[in-house]
Structure 1
Amino acid sequence: MSVIFKTLDMTGKAAVVTGAASGLGRMTALKLAEAGCDLWLVDVNEAGLAETTQLLAPHGRAVGSEVADLSDPVACHGVIAHAMEKFGRLDALCNIAGLIYLANTPQMPQAQYERTIDVNLNAPFFLSQAAIPHLLEMNGAVVNVASCASYIGEAYAAAYCASKWGLVGMTKAMAMEFQKKPIRINAVAPGGMITNIATNFTPPENCDFELLKRFSGMRGQVEVEDVADLVVLLSSPAGRGFHGACLSLDAGITAG
């Protein structure tokens, strides 16, 4: 067995995974369970959480789940408290839950803008705020899922880009704050994936599709499984050399 497979062993560790009802969150939960990790799953989709829990059963890990609206800071703190009640420890926080509304900027409803910021940026902050004291005890990790939209402007996605640029900045700022502490805080920036977000893609009215195509990527969609592998790497001791990093996995979208 190679060194990297030894360090990817998460046996006896516990992680919180948000957005776990489908897509990248579900795949990350499966990958963490394969590595031996116990899991606290969070989403607004109760049926999806039940499906993920069922899929995890063959791995024999301890699993708990919680329906929570992460736009509420109180709910974010509650998630961490409930995970600690379940496991008595926390080794990784995987901030995967996210959403996107495409809109012509002058017509974007205030409620959509605010929810984008609340779920994509504020929730990772408040979850981290609650989790960091416990993660410090375990030399643990925070992994934020940003986006290729963290580095380039994307038409009709001003709110989404703002939330994801902010998430990368927050990741780096927190990493600097805890530079002298035994914790790792990193982010992953994937390109487009086949997830519920992509499936429910709705272009704004009267949009210019030439502008949208600029961000589709010449090599197609990124595999969800590949992104999940990277999240697990950063969550595990194998990612010990990463701190304050944002790793792009976007099939070259942001290369130039």
Structure 2
Amino acid sequence: MAGRTVLIAGGAGGMGLATGLRLAADGERIALADLPGPKLDAAVAKIVATGADAVGLPLDIRSVAACRDVVAKARNWGGGMDILVNAAGVWLEGPASGVEEDQWDLVLDVNLKGAFFLISAAVPHLAAAQGVIVNIASDAGLVGNNGAAVYCASKGGLVLLTKALALELAPQGIRVNAVCPGDTATPMIEYQARTYGG
């Protein structure tokens, strides 16, 4: 099964990059989608250095048009699409009474809305390949965390989105699963510890 085309949203670091490196070791072709800049370039270089095929695709996941565009670009680059990994994520901590609308929108747009519209755009290509969708959710989407209501809402939504789409897309031969890790040594967790303590 090696040589499949994998699109990883949030692929420039953390779990997205780790997933890309692991799949590259299996011979998969990796399209990393993330905000453009040195971080994305370095991530692509790291995968290419392993001998794998990789490309960096700029993506602002908050934009529906950008989500649709990056799916088309990944499909054109790879000649199809076999796997979509939604690994983009942002963290917000603090009392619900202090959350501003723009903060709510950022977390929900990155953690949930973007994943939905990437999936929506990718379905025809994944159906043709009998492909796979993996959503990186969180244990916070299963059990609420004190002081992280917005983040928990976004990841809980992603868990239920996964369950609903697993039922909807199974007849098309697409498998949909979520991974719900606890605290993991990633830049997001390091930021959380620096900013909020812990």
TM-score w.r.t. the length of structure 1 is: 0.74
| Contact 2:86/2:134 (8 A) holds in 1 | yes
Counterpart in 1 of 2:39?
Answer: 48
C-alpha displacement of 1:60: 2.4
Q: Which runs of 5+ in 2 are unaligned?
A: none
1:190 aligns with 2:181: yes
Deviations 1:45-102 (A, max 9, x none): 5211111111112332221112211011111101101001111110000000101111
- Separation in 2 of the partners of 1:75 and 1:91? 20
Corresponding position of 1:91 = 82
Structure 2 residue 100 is matched with structure 1 residue 109: yes
Q: 2 CA distance for matches of 1:90 and 1:57?
A: 19
Tell me if the contact between 2:8 and 2:16 (Cα under 8 Å) persists in the aligned partners: yes
User: Partners in 1 of 2:135 and 2:129 — Cα distance?
Assistant: 18
- Give the secondary structure class of the aligned counterpart of 2:180: strand
Structure 1: give runs of 5+ residues left out of the alignment: 1-9, 204-208, 214-256
More helix by share: 2
Q: Which residue number corresponds to residue 19 of structure 2? A: 28
Cα distance in 2 for partners of 1:58, 1:66 equals 18
Which residue of structure 2 aligns with residue 232 of structure 1? Answer: none
From the CA coordinates, give the structure whose radius of gyration is larger: 1
Seq. identity, %: 36
Verify: 1:131 aligned to 2:122, yes or no: yes
User: Residue 61 of structure 2 aligns to which amino acid in structure 1?
Assistant: L
Give the Cα separation in 1 of the matches to 2:185 and 2:3. 31
Per-residue CA shift, 1:171-211, capped at 9, x if unaligned? Answer: 111111123221100000000111111111122xxxxx8xx
Aligned partner letter, 1:127: L
* Aligned counterpart, 1:199: 190
Residue 16 of structure 1 contacts residue 42 of structure 1 at CA under 8 Å; is this kept in 2?
Answer: yes
Provide the TM-score with structure 2 as the length reference: 0.95
Q: CA RMSD of the aligned region, Å?
A: 1.3
Q: Are 2:65 and 1:74 equivalent residues in the alignment?
A: yes
Distance 2:74 2:11 in 1: 14
SS in 1 for 2:184: coil
* Offset from partner CA, 1:207-249 (integer Å, 9 cap, x none): xx8xxx7xxxxxxxxxxxxxxxxxxxxxxxxxxxxxxxxxxxx
Contact 1:40 / 1:63 at 8 angstroms: preserved in 2? yes
Q: SS of 1:65's equivalent? A: strand
Amino acid in structure 1 at the alignment position of 2:47:
L
Q: Is the 2:58–2:70 contact (alpha carbons within 8 Å) kept by the matching residues of 1?
A: no
